[in-house]
Amino acid sequence: MEELKALLEKIGSVGDEINVDAVFGKPETVGDRVLIPVAEITYGFGAGLGVGGPGGYPEEPGDEEVGESRERQEEHGEAAVGGGGGAGGRARPIAYIEVGPDGTKVEPIIDEQKIALAGILLSAWAIAWIAPTLMALFNALFAPRE
């Protein structure tokens, strides 16, 4: 149990030591220009553990804490310990830095697929709002008054 807690604490401190240089890629020379890719980096993880069984969590408020209920453990057996975790990460290019004879400039990289999907969603959203508005307008103009 203590080893698992120590492992979780160790994993939890990983995020404090992020290397910001990972955001900027390795400079590449193309002709007389140098290109440096720039990315947004996201990562996350979660982990958990639990204790169950007869010697595990206290059954009633006021019972002894986990691991200290020796009497119950002796009576019912050892508690079961289980844990799990997951992690994920993503690097998304957002721009590139171009260093050439005519100076240094930043060129953005646009995610066209994401914008196209958002555009379709926005169109559907607009239609869903404009249609009842037009119906309300026609009702106000042409429907018999109450």
Nearer to another protein by Cβ, of 5 and 76: the residue is: 5
Q: Residue 102 Cβ, how far from another protein at the closest point, in Å?
A: 12
Q: Residue 139 Cβ, how far from another protein at the closest point, in Å?
A: 6
Q: Residue 71 Cβ, how far from another protein at the closest point, in Å?
A: 23
Alpha-carbon distances of 82 from 5, 7, 47, 85, rounded to whole Å: 12, 13, 11, 11
3-state SS track over the chain: CHHHHHHHHHHHCHHHHCCHHHHECCCEEECCEEEEEEEEEEEEEEEEEEEECCCCCCCCCCCCCCCCCHHHHHHHCCCEEEEEEEEEEEEEEEEEEEEECCEEEEEECCCHHHHHHHHHHHHHHHHHHHHHHHHHHHHHHHCCCC
- Cα–Cα distance for residue pair 129/93, rounded to 1 Å: 35
Q: Residue 138 Cβ, how far from another protein at the closest point, in Å?
A: 9
Q: Residue 55 Cβ, how far from another protein at the closest point, in Å?
A: 16
The residues of the shown chain that bind another protein, judged by CB under 8 A, are: 5-6, 8-9, 11-12, 14-16, 18, 20-24, 27, 34, 36, 38-50, 94-95, 97, 99, 103-106, 108-111, 114-115, 118-119, 122, 125-126, 129-130, 132-133, 136-137, 139-140, 143, 145-146
Nearer to another protein by Cβ, of 71 and 135: the residue is: 135
Nearer to another protein by Cβ, of 73 and 95: the residue is: 95
Nearer to another protein by Cβ, of 73 and 94: the residue is: 94
